Structure 1
Amino acid sequence: MTKFIFDLDGTITKCETLPLIASHFKVEEKINELTKATVAGQVPFIESFIRRVYILGKLPASEINDLLSGVETYAKVVEFIQQHKENCSIATGNLDCWIEKLAGKIGCEYFCSSGKVKKDNVVKLTNILKKEDIVRRYKDEGYRVVFIGDGNNDVEAMRMADVAIASGLTHSPALGAISVANYLVLNEVALCRQLNQLL
């Protein structure tokens, strides 16, 4: 039995969601600096994520949830997921209170970071998802795990997976992701072809 685990941002969605939130609420300068430093590997992902949530957590969580529910996704990728729901999961560092509606539209199980919400603001991070933990869980259950991701925060999960696909649908995958990948795909048709071959 094969389990496909997808990163969310830039893999299923056509954009990175944190910069989108930042732009919508006009706090993009702070977030963009952090995002660039994180992508370049200058700031560890966990630290960067905590700092970004600290900035964005002051914004209304319900409004972010609504905003992200309208994010454009790769239709063929979502179609694959919906046709094989029992074989597919999403693993994202993103917060539960922000992506609930978006994940609901995609329609498979998902694992994410979580935060404590008070008066519609994130007041505390309660869990930061380690994607490799989800890979380990399914491997322990006897699944062959295929991980599809594009960022530095996907590298450990990709390394641990039986098959790793570096996705270049939205932007070039991080060099770390490419270095551990079995396959590199640069468009949606190629990704779906690869997924179907691995079914």
Structure 2
Amino acid sequence: MNDNKQEKNINDNTKDEKKPCSKRKIILFDLDSTLIDCEVIDELGRLNNVEKEVEQITKDAMDGKLEFEQALEKRVQLLKGLSEKQILEFLESIQLMNGAKETLFKLKENGYITGVVSGGFTFATERIKDVLNLDYQFANELVYKDGKLTGEVIKNVSSKLAKGEILTKIAEKENIDLKDTVVVGDGANDISMFNIAGLGIAFCAKPILKDRADYCIDEKDLSNILKILKIE
């Protein structure tokens, strides 16, 4: 990363090599605190009475103080015994981030291929994919036995390079150059896709990701993305 690169707010008119343009046709979003207004694993921790322990591990991971794969394993172990019924009830309570529906509708209307890639879980990404009519979803899978979590997880998005690898695969499949891609996220595990995307937008993000972003949005309203991409 270039240390001289300056963070830009959505109202900053400074010219940059990565100026948004209508050519970009893939946009990938993180899930937690980006497309939805919560951290799923923290909420599951609350349901299993391990809220503080899970939240601290999440914070350390998002701040880049703990490898995400290790953090994922530790947190899922704390969820052991949580019932599938409790998780499905929680799923019904998940709230979209402000502006999410409007933003995704406009992006699709303008020809963008859309997706969610999360270090969280498929029960949530699959639901959000359906609700927002996304083209792709990638996440980890919780393991159940007799209707309860075993404390194990099938790791599909767990390494620090996972999101970048997924973006690359989607771009290859869709025959779109990486310079014509946009990514939106808020934490350290989004860095790999920010490093290779044409445009990176940090959404209410941790400092470690803001340092790698082309634009930063500090208001909890996803429709600000449309301003950056010059979509009306």
- Give 2:6's aligned residue: none
Larger helix percent? 1
Alignment counterpart, residue 203 of structure 2, candidates 140, 144, 167: 167
Which runs of structure 2 are paired with 1:50-89 in the superposition (5 Å)? 50-85=73-108, 87-89=113-115
Tell me if 1:128 matches 2:156: yes
Tell me the CA shift for residue 137 of structure 1.
1.2
Do the aligned partners of residues 67 and 102 (structure 1) sit closer, same or farther apart at CA in structure 2, a change above 3 Å counting?
farther
Runs of 4+ residues deviating >4 angstroms: none
Question: C-alpha displacement at 1:198, in angstroms?
Answer: 6.7
The alignment of Structure 1 onto Structure 2 pairs a total of residues equal to: 194
- Length-normalised TM-score, structure 2: 0.74
Q: How far 1:117 moved relative to its partner? A: 2.7
Q: 1:103 to 1:57 in 2, by over 3 A?
A: farther
Give the number of the structure with larger relative contact order, counting CA–CA contacts within 8 Å between residues 6 or more apart.
2
Aligned match of 2:132:
106
CA distance in 1, matches of 2:127, 2:216: 30
RMSD: 2.3
**Cα deviations across residues 120-150 of structure 1 (Å, max 9, x unaligned)?**
2343322331211221113323242100001
1:178-193 aligned within 5 A: 178-187=210-219, 188=221, 189-193=223-227
Where in structure 2 are there 5+ consecutive unaligned residues?
A: 1-23
Q: Structure 1 residue 118 and structure 2 residue 118: aligned?
A: no
Gaps of 5+ in 1: none
Which structure is larger by alpha-carbon Rg, 1 or 2? 2
Greater Cα shift, 38-47 or 179-188: 38-47
Question: Once the 2 structures are TM-superposed, how far is the Cα of residue 162 of structure 1 from its aligned partner?
Answer: 1.0
> What is the CA distance between 1:74 and its match in structure 2?
2.1
Identity of aligned residues (%): 20
Distance 1:133 1:122 in 2: 28
